[in-house]
């Protein structure tokens, strides 16, 4: 596959976002959260530990947006553990609507500062379409510091649906499948029930690893 530099692509997207959005009124928002386990694509990222997170987003009011997010990856680590203690993401996107169909194109860089293994970092480019309460997203690995991961040319497709059960409860259904060039695909599913700032989720992956997670999140 064609290797896209994370730094150059992120710089280009952010520069375009800032320049194009300069004439628009930018809105800044922040978010904080906590969860009993940080699950990503069906797999735990926090070794089953509680994870805390926070982020900052800028909406330029013209379809362009950018932001950053930081989440802890578990605290029960030995001094000799080479794993990262937290994840830091950088992202930029453009959204529009065509005949009621919401479209979004974006870039996400996943970084693991402080990890002894500097090859953990990678980046995705994605496109998503949403109609009503249903959405489909397609992610393509843009680049990875690990050459073996980069050569695997990973893709991820997610299908999501939300249903308001009443004025307080929202049900969310998710299905995802990750495909690789040189290895087997991996599926994951989840069902979530949200009320206010609280969410209860049951998540499982293809290896029959099922987890129940309680999460809290707030934006301001």
CATH no. for residue 189?
2.40.160.40
In a domain, 1, yes or no: no
CB 77 within 8 A of CB 90: no
Range of the domain at 125: 6-219
Which of 187, 150, 153, 143 minimizes the C-alpha distance to 41? 187
Task: Please list the alpha-helical segments (H only) found in 22-82.
Answer: none
131 touches 100 (CB < 8 A): yes
> CB neighbours of 46 closer than 8 A, spacing ≥ 6?
37, 38, 72, 73, 74
Q: Is 54 helix (H, G, I), strand (E, B) or coil?
A: strand
Q: Is residue 71 domain-resident?
A: yes
CA distance 71 to 68: 10
β pairing state of 122-131 and 43-44: unpaired
pLDDT of res. 50: 96
Count of domains for the chain: 1
Is residue 209 in a domain? Answer: yes
Task: For the chain, count helices (H), then strands (E).
Answer: 2, 14
Give CA 35 to chain center in angstroms: 15
Res 12: pLDDT? 57
Q: Is residue 103 part of a domain?
A: yes
pTM: 0.85
Tell me the pLDDT of the chain (220 aa) as tens digits.
334 454 555 555 555 555 555 545 799 999 999 999 999 999 999 988 999 999 999 999 999 999 999 999 975 444 445 678 899 999 999 999 999 999 999 999 999 987 776 789 999 999 999 999 999 999 999 999 999 888 888 999 999 999 999 999 999 999 999 999 888 899 999 999 999 999 999 999 977 689 999 999 999 9
- Judge whether 122 lies within some domain: yes
Rounded distance between C-alpha atoms, residue 104 and residue 89, angstroms? 18
β-pairing verdict for 39-40 and 43-44: antiparallel
Asked if residue 76 is part of any domain, the answer here is yes
How much is the pLDDT for 19?
A: 55
Q: Which residue blocks in 56-202 are alpha helix, DSSP H? A: 147-151
């Amino acid at each position: 596959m064609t290797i896209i530099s994370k730094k150059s692509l992120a710089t280009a997207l952010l520069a375009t976002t800032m320049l194009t959005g300069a004439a628009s009124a930018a809105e800044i928002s922040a978010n904080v959260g906590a969860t009993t386990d940080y699950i990503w694509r069906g797999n735990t990222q926090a070794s089953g530990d509680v994870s805390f997170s926070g982020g900052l987003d800028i909406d330029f009011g013209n379809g362009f947006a950018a932001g950053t997010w930081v989440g802890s990856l578990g605290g029960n680590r030995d001094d000799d553990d080479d794993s990262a203690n937290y994840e830091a993401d950088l992202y930029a996107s453009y959204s529009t609507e065509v005949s009621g169909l919401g479209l979004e194109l974006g870039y996400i860089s996943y970084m693991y500062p402080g990890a002894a293994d500097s090859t953990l970092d990678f980046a995705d480019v994605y496109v998503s379409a949403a109609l009503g309460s249903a959405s489909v997203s397609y992610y393509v690995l843009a680049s990875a510091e690990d050459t073996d991961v980069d050569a695997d040319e990973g893709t991820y497709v997610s299908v999501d649906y939300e249903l308001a059960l009443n004025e307080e409860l929202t049900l969310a259904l998710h299905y995802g499948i990750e495909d690789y060039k040189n290895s087997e695909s991996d599926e994951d599913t989840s069902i979530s029930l949200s009320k206010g700032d609280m969410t209860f989720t049951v998540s499982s992956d293809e290896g029959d690893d099922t987890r129940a997670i309680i999460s809290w999140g707030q934006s301001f």
